Structure 1
C-alpha cells in the first residue's frame, strides 16, 4: 500500500493552521482578559468614586452641622426664632440639602426653616430621629434615601437642643451612576476599537499579537492602573499625590485629564472644608476644634521634655449687655475689635509659637510656650487687661467692657488637655469674682472655691420661697433736725446651716448667676408694701420714703420702669416715696442706656440715688448728664474723715458741688458723733449708720417711727 506523503505545503499549512489556532487561542485569551480587565476597572472606579463621594458628603455634612451648632447656640439659648430661621434657611440653600431641623432636648421641632413653622413643637418621629436626639456628639446616619448629620447644641457644658441636616442620597447616587456609566462606555469604546485593530493584524501572527498586546499594555492598562492608584490616594485622603496629566488626544487622555481636574477640584474642596472646620468665621482666628488638636499635639511633644506651656482664657466682661442694648451686629463688631487687639498683643508678646483661638461667644484662648512661660503669661495678661480695658467705639458710642483672664500652666496644674482647659475656665471665673478686668492664675484652692460657690448658688435658688431671705430697714435721718425721714431696705439671708450669710457674698453670687433678676423684683415689692404701711405713722407733709438697691443686671435688662410701675400700682405706694439706689459703676458702664432709663423713672416721680459715690472713677461731671436726685457718699470717705484731711476735703467738695446741681447728699456709714457733726457743718442733707440706727425689721421700724 502506497503511503501518503506529508509534504512541505501540508506541513506549512499545518504549521499555519497550528499557528493560527495558537494565535486565535491567544487572541481569545487576550480578548477575555481584556473584558475581565474592563470589568475590574469599572468595579474599581465604582468603588473608588462611591467611597470618595460618601466621604466627601460626610465631611461636608459634619462641617456644615458643626458651623450650624456654633451659630445656633446663642439664638437657641435666647429662643430667637427669627435668627434661628434665618440661619436654617441659609443652610437649606446648599446643594442636596433635603431638610434642616432645630429641636429641643426632647426631640420637639423648634424650627424647620419655613416662615410659619407649621411643625413647631411636634416630636420628630422619622426612623433616624431617635439616635439624632440621643446623640451626645456629632452623629451621622445613612439610609437608602438620606444622609442625616446631627449634633447637640451646647452652652458651656449644658445641652440646650440640637440641629439635624439631611442630604439627599438620590442625587449623589445619580451623579455617581452617571459617571460610572460614562467611564464604562469609554472603556467599551476603547475595547471595540482595539478589537478592530487586532482583527486587521491577525496576519502578523505571533509578532503582531505580541505587538498588539504590548501596545494595549502601554496605552490602556498602565493609565488605568495610574487612575486606580490616584483614586485610592484620594480615597484615603491623600490629595498631594503626583498631578496626573496626559498629552494624548484619545479617550484615555481625556479620561486622565478629566480625572486630574476632578482630583484638583476635590483637593480644593477639601481645603475649603478644612478651613471652614478649623477657622472661626467671624474673626478668622483658629476655632475650638483646631486649637484642641494643636494643644493635644503640643502636650504630646512636651511630655518628658521639661518644658512648660501656659493657657490664657480671656472672657469679655459684660458682653451680653452689648447684644442686649445695641444688637448682635454691634456685638459682632465688638468681637472683631477685641480679636484684633488680642492678636496684636499676642504677636507682640506671645512668642513665635503662640496660638490664639476663639472658642465661641466672647471667649478667647491663648497658648504660649516660649521662654519663661509664667512670666510671659503674666506680662501678656497685664497687656491684655490694659488694651481691652480701653473703650471701644461701636455705632458711634463708646462702650467700656474689659476682660477677665484665667491662666493655667502645664505641667504644674495638669498634664492633660481637658484638665488644663477646665482649670483655665475656673481661673477665669475667679477673675470675674475678683471684680472683673483682671487676671488670676489657677490654684488648687480654686476648685474648692468654685464648688462652694456652685453650692451656694443652688441653695440660693428658692431661698425666698423657703422664707430664708428677709428685709431689714436701716433708718435714714435728716441732719438738720435729726429726724427719721426714711429707711434703706437691706436684704438678709438666714441660712439654716451656715447662719447669717454676708450680703457681700450672696448678693455677688445672685448677680453672677442671674438669680438677682428674680430676687430683685420681690425685694422691691416687699419694700414698697412695707413703706405703704408706714404712711399712717407720719403726716402727709413729711412722708417716709424707702430706698431699694437695684443691681447692674436689673438696670441692663431694660424692664426696670415696668417692674417699678407694677410694684407701685399693686402696693399703692406713692412714686415720690420710692428711692432707687444704683451703683456709680453700673451707671457709667453704659451711660446712654442708663440715662434714658433713669429719665423714664424720673418722669413717674421715682427718685434715683447714686450709691457708693466717689468709687466709680467717674467724677462729678457725670452728674450733669445722668438724671439723679441724690448721691450717697461712700462709707470709705466717711470712716477716715476725722483723721484724714484729704477725705474730709473730698467729702466737702462732693457736698458743695452736688448742692450746686440741686442734688441731695446722703452720708452712709456714720458711726461716730464727730462724723455726724462734721457732716452737718458741711451741709450734708441725710445720713445713716450704726451711730444713728441699726437695721431693724419692718414692724420694729414702724414702732421706731411711732
Structure 2
C-alpha cells in the first residue's frame, strides 16, 4: 500500500508552527535569562554593598581607635586612670560602640568605660586576644555581629598597651537590607516594561520569521542545504567531493558554481599552506611543528609494543661566530650546506627510517627508527652510526665566499622508551645530552643518562651563583710570578681568576670559567678582570735586578675576542689605571685565534699598535702550526704545560719543545714555558734559551699583597 505523503500546504503549515514554537521558546529562554541576570546583578550588588559598608565601618573604626590610642598615650604613660576612664566612657557613648577595652602591655584590662571597672587587672581571655597582643600594628576582625578594632599605644619603641573597640554591625546590616529592597523594587519596574516590549518584539519577530520561512522554503531551502553541506565538508578539510553542477540560470545557480570554484581554489591553497606550515623555508626540511606531530604519532603507535626509536638533537658548534663575523646571509648559506651534509649522513645509514627536521637557528633534530622488516642491528647501534656520520661530515671544512670555515656539531641522543616516554621529556633529554656533548669538548656525541640531569642542575645553579659574584666579592685575582730564565729574575705575573663560593668553598677555574663561557658571563667578568689587573699592576714596584716595572698578563676568552669590544675595553682600562701599554700582555688561546684567523689578525694588529703585547696561550694543544705565526703576528707564545711536564721523560717532547723555541726565536717571538715544577725542567729550558718560565717550582699563585711583598 502506498505510503501517504504530506502535501506542500501541510509542510508549510508544519514549518510555520515550528517557527512559532521556536520564537516562543526563544522568548521564554530570553525572559529566563533576564531573570538570571537580574538575580546575578542583585547578588553582585549585595556583595559590593556589603563589602563597601564593611570597609566604611572598618575605616572609621580604625581611625577612631587610632585617635583614641593617641589620646590615651600620656594618661596611660602616667597611669592616670581617671583620664583613661573619661576617654573610654566618651568613646563608649558613641553610636554603634558595643564595648571599649584599654589594656596594658601584658594584656591586662585597665578600663572598660564602666564606672566600677569590674574587669580591672584581668587578662583578656577571648579568642582574639593572642592575635591582638602579637600584632605589631592595628588589628581588625569581624565577629558575628561586631567589628573588633584594636590599636597599640606606644611611646617610641616602648609598648604601653593598647585599646580595643567593638562596633555593632546592626545598623550596617539594616542599611544593606534597605538598599537591596530598593534595588529589587526598581528591577521589578524595569522587568515589567521589558516584558511588555519583549512580547511585542517577539510577536513582530514571529510574524517576520514566518514570512521569511515561507519564502526561503519556496525559493532557497534546497539549494542552500546543498551549499551548506559543501561548506561543512570544506570546513572539515574535505575538498574531494565535487559540488553537483547546477543548471539554474539565476543567482542561486551562479552561487553554486562560484562555491565550486572556491572549493577548488581552497584545495590548492590548503596544499600550499600545509607545505609552508610543515617545512623549513631555508632548508626545505621538516620544521618543529611537523616533527612534533610525527613524533607524537610514532610514540602513540609504539606504546606497549616494545620497539625503540632514537632522537638525535644536533647543534652546530660556534655557529654564532659565523653570523657575527660574516653576516646572517653567510649564516643562511652555511645552514643550507649543513642541511645537505646531514642528508648525506642520513643516506649513509641503511636499514633505518630517519626523519630530519630543523628546529630553528642552528638546531637540527633527527628521529631514527628501524625500518619495517629490518632486524640487523639495534636502534642504539644505528644511532651511534648516524651520530658518528654527522660528527665526521659536519666537522669537515666548508668553503664559504672563497674561504674555509671550520664548524662542528654536538649531538645528544635519547632513546624511547628507556630514556623518556613522552614527546616533551624525550626532546628535553636529547637537549641535555647535546649540552653534555658541548661540555665534553664539542664536535662529539653523547647518549643521555640520568646522571646528566644532576650535572645540568649543578651547572645551572653554578651559572645562577656566578651572576653578581664579582660584585659580592666572591671573585678575586691571584698572580703567578713569571721569571726570566737566564737569571731567574721576576719580570711579571699572570693574573688568575679565583672563586671562593660562600657555600661550596673554592671552585676550580676549569669548572666555573667554562660555565661563564657557555652562558656569556665571561664577557662581563673579563672586563672586570682586565680593569682590576691593570689597576693593581700600575702600583707595582720595580723588582730588584729587573730594570723595569713588571708586566701583567691577562687571559682573554674566545667570546671577548669575537665580541668586537676588546679594543675599547683595553683602551678604557689603560686610561683609567694609567698603566703603560707595553706592560699589559694579553693571552689568547690558539684555537680562538685560528678559528677566525682574518678577524683575529686585524684585532691583534690594532692591539699591537696600542703598544699592548699579545701572547698565544696553550700553544701545542690546538691546531699547532708555526706557519700560523707568519699570518697572525704575536709577541710571544706559551708552550702548554703538557709538553713541559714530560721533558725529563719523553725525548719527543724535548725535541718538539726545542724546535718550537728555535723557530719562534727565528721569527722574533718570545717563548714562555708554563708548568715548570722541577729544577731539571728549568735547566733544560735555560739550556735551550727559553725566554720566560712560570710554574710551581718557581712560585705558586699569590694574593695581591703577597705578590707586592715578593716584588719588594
Taking structure 2 as the reference length, the TM-score comes to 0.68
Q: After TM superposition, give the deviation of residue 250 of structure 1 in Å.
A: 2.8
1:587 to 580, 593, 596: 593
After superposition, the C-alpha distances for 1:148-167 in whole angstroms (9 at most, x for unaligned) are xxxxxxxxxxxxxxxxxxxx
Q: 1:350 to 1:303 in 2, by over 3 A?
A: farther
Q: 1:658 to 1:35 in 2, by over 3 A?
A: farther
Q: Which residue in 1 is equivalent to 2:405? A: 399
Q: 1:450 to 1:318 in 2, by over 3 A?
A: same
Q: After TM superposition, give the deviation of residue 342 of structure 1 in Å.
A: 1.1
Distance between the aligned counterparts of 1:268 and 1:34, measured in 2?
40
Pairing 1:6-405 to 2, within 5 Å after superposition: 225-235=225-235, 237-244=236-243, 246=245, 248=247, 250-251=249-250, 254-349=254-349, 351=351, 353-370=353-370, 372-405=378-411
**Residue 441, structure 1, aligned to residue 447, structure 2:** yes
Q: Which residue in 1 is equivalent to 2:633? A: 627
Answer whether contact 2:489 2:545 (CA < 8 A) is retained: no
Q: Which residue in 1 is equivalent to 2:693? A: 687
Q: Which residue in 2 is equivalent to 1:40? A: none
Q: Which residue in 1 is equivalent to 2:416? A: 410
After superposition, the C-alpha distances for 1:201-248 in whole angstroms (9 at most, x for unaligned) are xxxxxxxxxxxxxxx9xxx9776544332222112x232332235274
Q: Which residue in 2 is equivalent to 1:470? A: 476
Q: 1:538 to 1:282 in 2, by over 3 A?
A: farther
Answer whether contact 2:308 2:415 (CA < 8 A) is retained: yes
**Residue 647, structure 1, aligned to residue 653, structure 2:** yes
Q: Which residue in 1 is equivalent to 2:621? A: 615
Q: 1:229 to 1:247 in 2, by over 3 A?
A: closer
Q: Which residue in 2 is equivalent to 1:108? A: none
Distance between the aligned counterparts of 1:332 and 1:509, measured in 2?
28
Answer whether contact 1:633 1:665 (CA < 8 A) is retained: yes
Distance between the aligned counterparts of 1:245 and 1:480, measured in 2?
101
After superposition, the C-alpha distances for 1:320-344 in whole angstroms (9 at most, x for unaligned) are 1111111111121121211221122
Q: 1:27 to 1:484 in 2, by over 3 A?
A: closer
Q: Report the 3-state secondary structure (helix = DSSP H, G, I; strand = E; otherwise coil) of the residue aligned with 1:354.
A: strand
Q: After TM superposition, give the deviation of residue 527 of structure 1 in Å.
A: 0.9
Q: After TM superposition, give the deviation of residue 656 of structure 1 in Å.
A: 1.1
Q: Report the 3-state secondary structure (helix = DSSP H, G, I; strand = E; otherwise coil) of the residue aligned with 2:284.
A: coil
Q: Which residue in 1 is equivalent to 2:556? A: 550
Q: 1:361 to 1:443 in 2, by over 3 A?
A: same
Q: Which has the larger radius of gyration?
A: 2
Q: Report the 3-state secondary structure (helix = DSSP H, G, I; strand = E; otherwise coil) of the residue aligned with 2:392.
A: helix
Q: 1:255 to 1:659 in 2, by over 3 A?
A: same
Distance between the aligned counterparts of 1:540 and 1:665, measured in 2?
18
Answer whether contact 1:633 1:667 (CA < 8 A) is retained: yes
Q: Report the 3-state secondary structure (helix = DSSP H, G, I; strand = E; otherwise coil) of the residue aligned with 1:349.
A: coil
Answer whether contact 1:350 1:368 (CA < 8 A) is retained: no
Q: After TM superposition, give the deviation of residue 458 of structure 1 in Å.
A: 1.0
1:559 to 565, 586, 590: 565
Distance between the aligned counterparts of 1:281 and 1:290, measured in 2?
13
Extract unaligned runs of 5+ from structure 2: 1-5, 19-211
The count of aligned residue pairs is 507
Q: 1:262 to 1:634 in 2, by over 3 A?
A: same
2:534 to 514, 518, 528: 528
Q: Report the 3-state secondary structure (helix = DSSP H, G, I; strand = E; otherwise coil) of the residue aligned with 2:421.
A: coil
Q: 1:248 to 1:580 in 2, by over 3 A?
A: same
Give structure 1 regions of 4+ aligned residues with deviation exceeding 6 angstroms: 25-37
After superposition, the C-alpha distances for 1:500-546 in whole angstroms (9 at most, x for unaligned) are 11111111111111111111011111111111111455689523101
Answer whether contact 1:310 1:368 (CA < 8 A) is retained: yes
After superposition, the C-alpha distances for 1:375-408 in whole angstroms (9 at most, x for unaligned) are 1111111111111111222333322121111100
Distance between the aligned counterparts of 2:246 and 2:232, measured in 1?
23
* Two-structure CA RMSD over aligned residues (Å): 2.7
After superposition, the C-alpha distances for 1:100-158 in whole angstroms (9 at most, x for unaligned) are xxxxxxxxxxxxxxxxxxxxxxxxxxxxxxxxxxxxxxxxxxxxxxxxxxxxxxxxxxx
Q: Report the 3-state secondary structure (helix = DSSP H, G, I; strand = E; otherwise coil) of the residue aligned with 1:534.
A: coil
